[in-house]
Amino acid sequence: MPQLLRIATMPDLSSPRLAIVGGGPAGLMAAEVLLAQGAAVDLYDAMPSPGRKFLLAGVGGMNITHSEPYAAFVARYGASMAHIRPWLERFGPQAVRDWVHGLGIDTFVGSSGRVFPVEMKAAPLLRAWLQRLREAGLVLHVRHRFQGWTPQGALRFATPDGETVHSADACLLALGGGSWAKLGSDGAWVGLLRGHGIDVAALRPANCGFDIGWSEVLRSRFAGAPLKSVAASPDGENWRRGECVITAGGIEGSLVYALSAALRDRIEAEGSATLYLDLAPDRDLARLRGELGRPRASASIANHLRRQTGIEGVKASLLRECLSRDDFQDMGRLAESIKCLPLRLTAPRPLDEAISSAGGVRFAALDPGLMLLARPGVFCAGEMLDWEAPTGGYLLTACLASGRHAAEGMLDWLGRRSTPG
Ligand SMILES: Cc1cc2nc3c(=O)[nH]c(=O)nc-3n(C[C@H](O)[C@H](O)[C@H](O)COP(=O)(O)OP(=O)(O)OC[C@H]3O[C@@H](n4cnc5c(N)ncnc54)[C@H](O)[C@@H]3O)c2cc1C
């Protein structure tokens, strides 16, 4: 017997039988919309339980959406904004908060404007959500790995008991991106959909760290060291403040993630990219020049730097790592480097380590209701679509909103199909 996670009250069997593949936030939200219309919904997931990446997202503090003004919020989706705006108009950041409240969970706005559930966790929210979906009649089939379609259009699944085939009046794929494969979304669907003639842009790391060829000295002493109160820029002109972390192989953290799309694209185009760091964003260059220009007497440069500017530890070691011996001893060059230290990034970290994926099913392969033009009756939602966004709640908001949008697209399509003429 294939694994079944509890069956609650079954909806009216005269209603359409709909399939959702992928039990992340996009698939679960689609299920909610379809169940609310009285459809019979089967949700299939490859893993032993749904929502595993959603749960992981909750480990570091489940940032579900953002409270900034709507125009600024929408602009975070960059080149994909025009595609995503219609989803957000129906289910935007405020709707996400209301929806969380509807599950009995309060939210709060952090100092950065990010919105979190009060407990900062995903588990209570997912529990309440799954409970509500089960009560609405959701039939959850776990350990069902989607394998494509039979020639007749039925869904093929690999299960621990062998291959099974399920028919549905329409189906919605919400298979996620390609990072953190052990949580279920492994991107294996890319080859599968391409094999069915669907145009999919290659998955690429988004919100990711980067490789830098550190010396053994820096690596051994500072891997894991946070770089606090710094600013970073992909071009030496547009600066952003925040925090990042030195890793054994390079650099990561929220500040780097925020710039990662531009840096990744530059590496792809040019083979490497430069990330500029301002190690003292609260001091301007003139002040630093003045401080470092004071008499040093017999003090070492490291001591002079620390006494005059407060720069020490990992920041001082980064300067020593990146500057030539002559530049490190030249107080004018040292001051300039504190304000704009170039780091050469050689590669993004692998997709599996990224927070999210860029790439996916191209919008040109979909109709406005997110139905695949090449496969009428098959809809797509969530991170598997070709868009990307920074961290800050934008990923989950768009995944939830796209799940709603695709489910509404499916209902609309079913309605048009059943209406003669
Ligand atoms: C460490 C980390 C922290 C994050 N923190 C945040 C955050 O704070 N805020 C935020 O907005 N976003 C965050 N994200 C991103 C967010 O979790 C994802 O964007 C979101 O979960 C994507 O939702 P989805 O439904 O599209 O796909 P997923 O959540 O990836 O779900 C896809 C589902 O499809 C299933 N599946 C895949 N292939 C198959 C198959 N062939 N057959 C059957 N089932 C299949 C998977 O098992 C999985 O359950 C974080 C991500 C990570 C990795």
Span 298-313, pLDDT tens digits? 999 999 999 999 999 9
CA separation for the pair 260, 242 (Å, rounded): 14
Q: What is the mean pLDDT of residues 162-173?
A: 97
- Predicted pLDDT of residue 420: 64
- Predicted pLDDT of residue 317: 96
CA separation for the pair 103, 250 (Å, rounded): 41
Tokens standing for residue 27: 């698939």
For tokens 């909610």, name the residue: 32
pLDDT band at 14 (very low <50, low <70, confident <90, very high): low
What is the best residue among 114, 395, 397 to mutate for testing ligand 1's pocket, by most ligand atoms within 8 Å of CB? 395
Q: What is the mean pLDDT of residues 158-182?
A: 97
359 CA to centre of ligand 1 in angstroms? 14
DSSP code for 323: S
pLDDT band at 12 (very low <50, low <70, confident <90, very high): very low
- Predicted pLDDT of residue 125: 96
91 CA to centre of ligand 1 in angstroms? 19
Q: Left if phi > 0, otherwise alpha if psi is -120 to 50, otherwise beta: which for 197? A: left
CA separation for the pair 336, 252 (Å, rounded): 24
The pLDDT of residue 4 is above 90:
no
Span 317-334, pLDDT tens digits? 999 999 999 999 999 999
Span 240-273, pLDDT tens digits? 999 999 999 999 999 999 999 999 999 999 999 9
Residue 401 makes CB contacts below 8 A (sequence gap 6+) with 29, 84, 87, 88, 90, 91, 92, 95, 96
Q: What is the mean pLDDT of residues 280-291?
A: 96
Q: How many CA atoms lie within 13 A of 74 on its CB side?
A: 14
Tokens standing for residue 335: 């001051």
Phi, psi of 154 (to 5 degrees): -80, 155
71 CA to centre of ligand 1 in angstroms? 26
Q: What is the mean pLDDT of residues 157-182?
A: 97
The pLDDT of residue 9 is above 50:
no
383 CA to centre of ligand 1 in angstroms? 7
The pLDDT of residue 137 is above 60:
yes
- Atom number, ligand 1, closest to the C-alpha of residue 27: 25
166 CA to centre of ligand 1 in angstroms? 24
Nearest to 291 by CA among 335, 336, 326, 324: 335
78 CA to centre of ligand 1 in angstroms? 21
pLDDT band at 11 (very low <50, low <70, confident <90, very high): very low
Q: Which residue has the higher pLDDT, 417 or 185?
A: 185
24 CA to centre of ligand 1 in angstroms? 5
Buried-state track 302-314, b at ≥16 Cβ within 10 A, e below 16: eebbbebbebeeb
pTM of this structure: 0.93
Nearest to 378 by CA among 59, 148, 65, 139: 148
- Predicted pLDDT of residue 119: 87
Phi, psi of 73 (to 5 degrees): -60, -50
The pLDDT of residue 109 is above 50:
yes
Query: Taken in order 283, 285, 287, 291, is the CA torsion positive or negative?
Result: positive
What is the best residue among 115, 120, 175 to mutate for testing ligand 1's pocket, by most ligand atoms within 8 Å of CB? 175
- Atom number, ligand 1, closest to the C-alpha of residue 51: 49
- Atom number, ligand 1, closest to the C-alpha of residue 176: 27
Ligand 1 proximal residues by C-beta, below 6 Å: 21-27, 44-47, 50, 52-54, 56-57, 60, 62-63, 145-146, 174-176, 179-180, 184-185, 188-189, 355-356, 382-383, 393, 395-396, 399
CA separation for the pair 376, 413 (Å, rounded): 9
What is the best residue among 64, 185, 349, 361 to mutate for testing ligand 1's pocket, by most ligand atoms within 8 Å of CB? 185
53 CA to centre of ligand 1 in angstroms? 4
pLDDT band at 5 (very low <50, low <70, confident <90, very high): very low
125 CA to centre of ligand 1 in angstroms? 15
- Predicted pLDDT of residue 153: 93
CA separation for the pair 178, 155 (Å, rounded): 21
- Predicted pLDDT of residue 10: 39
Kind of pairing between the strands at 250-252 and 240-246: antiparallel
- Atom number, ligand 1, closest to the C-alpha of residue 146: 42
Span 49-78, pLDDT tens digits? 999 999 998 887 889 999 999 999 999 999
163 CA to centre of ligand 1 in angstroms? 25
For tokens 């996670």, name the residue: 5
> Atom 52 (ligand 1): residue with closest C-alpha?
355
- Predicted pLDDT of residue 8: 34
Q: What is the mean pLDDT of residues 396-411?
A: 98
CA separation for the pair 209, 219 (Å, rounded): 15
Q: What is the mean pLDDT of residues 210-237?
A: 96
For tokens 């925040």, name the residue: 242
44 CA to centre of ligand 1 in angstroms? 15
Q: What is the mean pLDDT of residues 164-171?
A: 96
The pLDDT mean for the chain works out to 94
181 CA to centre of ligand 1 in angstroms? 10
- Atom number, ligand 1, closest to the C-alpha of residue 62: 8
- Predicted pLDDT of residue 85: 98
The pLDDT of residue 7 is above 60:
no
Q: What is the mean pLDDT of residues 229-243?
A: 95
Nearest to 22 by CA among 52, 63, 66: 52
pLDDT band at 417 (very low <50, low <70, confident <90, very high): confident
- Predicted pLDDT of residue 1: 35
> Atom 7 (ligand 1): residue with closest C-alpha?
63
The pLDDT of residue 34 is above 80:
yes
- Atom number, ligand 1, closest to the C-alpha of residue 395: 11
- Predicted pLDDT of residue 421: 56
Q: Left if phi > 0, otherwise alpha if psi is -120 to 50, otherwise beta: which for 310? A: left
- Atom number, ligand 1, closest to the C-alpha of residue 145: 42
The lowest-confidence range among 36-40, 57-61, 200-204, 341-345 is: 57-61
